[in-house]
Amino acid sequence: MISPDIQRAFFVSAGVMILDYIARAMSWYWTVPWFDTIMHTLGGFLVVMLAVPFLKRVGMTLSVQTLVLSVIIVGVGWEVFELLNNITGVPPEQYWSDTIVDLIADLLGGLLAIAYLKTQR
């Protein structure tokens, strides 16, 4: 039997991937100014949903701090990836403000996932 943690992670992953596919096909990242923020929020949610079964599997204690740190590490990593691959989608003078908004959205999504998981216990 597949654990509920893995089932939740799978469904959130599938939802984010489908939404990303549609967004790319419809050019929402480039035509809907706030769409990237929604995806970063969902990304933060997804990181927590994936981190929970992973951290359990490796025997780490689940804590809010560990989950938030996971979101921060992945979010900063993603921002570095965007910068190195020149796919930020914003002019250079807007890079830092866009990055800060993205990281706040990542964190918000992660905190929403933590709150959701607390209701599932």
Residue bearing tokens 């992670």: 9
Q: Say what the pLDDT of residue 121 is.
A: 73
Using alpha carbons only, give the angle 32, 37, 41 rounded to the nearest 5 degrees: 140
Domains contained in the chain, number: 1
In order of 5, 40, 44, 77, 81, the CA distances from 115 in angstroms are: 14, 17, 13, 24, 28
pTM of the model: 0.94
| pLDDT tens by residue, the chain, 121 residues | 899 999 999 999 999 999 999 999 999 999 998 999 999 999 999 999 999 999 999 999 899 999 999 999 999 999 999 999 998 888 889 999 999 999 999 999 999 999 999 999 7
Residue 70: give the domain boundaries: 4-119
Q: Say what the pLDDT of residue 1 is.
A: 87
